[in-house]
């Protein structure tokens, strides 16, 4: 039976049209494994001079030389700049060309989130209002460079979808959204009640604040490890799927209630004519079933 549901946190509407025979295997993706390094990749070790000069690094070595474990560099083709003020940076997870978020060590996954938080903090301290951190992993998710990386676009405006999230936020709605749990603990992982696409997951600290840039070190590390584990679950269930990760936060100077959270959206279905025309998503896997499969993955 079809159901029309509203994501109370985003206002997005979805038609749940679960196809009973569909199992996770229906969506499984088998990609050729990537090589550990690629001579022509600007994010691989030894090619540091091919990116704009780095703004942060972890690990050893001099700037623009090997020895790093994580690098942050300005995006060579920024979304924002002279016409639209802001900053656009890239966080290169590790020198390994083949290690996406799901394959990182706990330490490295924690470092990714710490680096994003620190760069968000930096740009907010320098006049930006809203930091949008995200990951496009795989071509179907919009990645133009294969080497795993995250991006941070610091805007001097609050973008429309972020404003909708702020306007709609209510603690009760946030709690209700967590009905279909995947993981319990200091970081909670769940499939949203009105998941727009199959196997969408949301993560949040059980006791978090409104702004990602203000998260404490320990909380940020815990969220990074939980994010890694959540993506590893997706990969156990669905294989080598493309996915997006988005960190949703309150902007600078926000006074109302909010909780920062992370959305993980596997890109196993496409927005086609109906979705583009109507703004309604169609999800063929019930979030309760997706949560069950993700919970069982280990």
Which of 9, 14, 16, 44 forms a contact with Zn ion (CB under 5 A)? 44
In whole angstroms, the minimum distance from the beta carbon of 234 to Zn ion comes to 22
In whole angstroms, the minimum distance from the beta carbon of 190 to Zn ion comes to 33
How many residues sit in the footprint of Zn ion (CB under 5 A)?
6
Q: Which helix (H) or strand (E) holds 221?
A: helix 217-238
If the CB atoms of residues 93 and 258 are measured against Zn ion, the closer one turns out to be 93
Q: Does 250 bind Zn ion (CB under 5 A)?
A: no
Q: Does 34 bind Zn ion (CB under 5 A)?
A: no
Q: Does 97 bind Zn ion (CB under 5 A)?
A: yes
Nearest residue to the partner Zn ion, using Cβ: 41
Coil, helix or strand at residue 264:
strand
Cβ atoms of residues 254 and 166 within 8 Å:
yes
Which of 22, 29, 41, 284 forms a contact with Zn ion (CB under 5 A)? 41
**Residue 4's beta-bridge partner residues?**
15
| Chain residues 137-196 in contact with Zn ion, contact rule CB under 5 A | 147
In whole angstroms, the minimum distance from the beta carbon of 45 to Zn ion comes to 8
In whole angstroms, the minimum distance from the beta carbon of 98 to Zn ion comes to 8
Q: Which two tokens stand for residue 240?
A: 């080598």
If the CB atoms of residues 147 and 202 are measured against Zn ion, the closer one turns out to be 147
How far apart, in whole angstroms, are the C-alpha atoms of residue 216 and residue 226? 15
| Chain residues 50-89 in contact with Zn ion, contact rule CB under 5 A | none
Residues that bind Zn ion in the complex, under the rule CB under 5 A: 38, 41, 43-44, 97, 147
């Amino acid at each position: 039976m079809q159901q029309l549901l509203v994501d109370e946190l985003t206002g997005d509407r979805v038609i749940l049209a679960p196809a009973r025979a569909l199992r996770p295997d229906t969506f499984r993706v088998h990609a050729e494994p990537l090589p550990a390094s690629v001579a022509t990749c600007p994010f691989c070790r030894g090619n540091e001079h091919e990116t704009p000069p780095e703004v942060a690094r972890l690990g050893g070595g001099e700037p623009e030389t090997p020895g790093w474990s994580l690098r942050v560099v300005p995006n060579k083709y920024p979304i924002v700049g002279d016409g639209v003020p802001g900053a656009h940076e890239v966080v290169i997870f590790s020198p390994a060309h083949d290690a996406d978020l799901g394959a990182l060590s706990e330490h490295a996954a924690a470092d990714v989130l710490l680096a994003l938080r620190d760069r968000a903090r930096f740009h907010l301290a320098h006049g930006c209002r809203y930091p949008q951190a995200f990951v496009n992993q795989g071509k179907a998710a919009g990645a133009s460079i294969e080497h795993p990386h995250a991006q941070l676009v610091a805007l001097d405006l609050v973008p429309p979808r972020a404003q909708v999230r702020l306007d709609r936020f209510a603690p009760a709605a946030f709690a209700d959204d967590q009905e279909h749990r995947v993981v319990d603990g200091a970081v909670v992982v769940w499939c949203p009640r009105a998941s727009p696409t199959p196997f969408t997951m949301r993560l949040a600290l059980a006791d978090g604040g409104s702004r990602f840039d203000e998260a404490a070190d320990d909380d940020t590390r815990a969220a990074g490890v939980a994010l890694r584990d959540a993506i590893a679950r997706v990969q156990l269930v669905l294989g080598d799927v493309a996915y997006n990760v988005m960190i949703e936060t309150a902007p600078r100077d926000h006074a109302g209630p909010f909780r920062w959270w992370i959305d993980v959206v596997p890109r196993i279905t496409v927005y086609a004519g109906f979705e583009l025309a109507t703004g309604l998503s169609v999800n063929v896997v019930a979030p309760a079933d997706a949560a069950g499969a993700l919970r069982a993955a280990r």
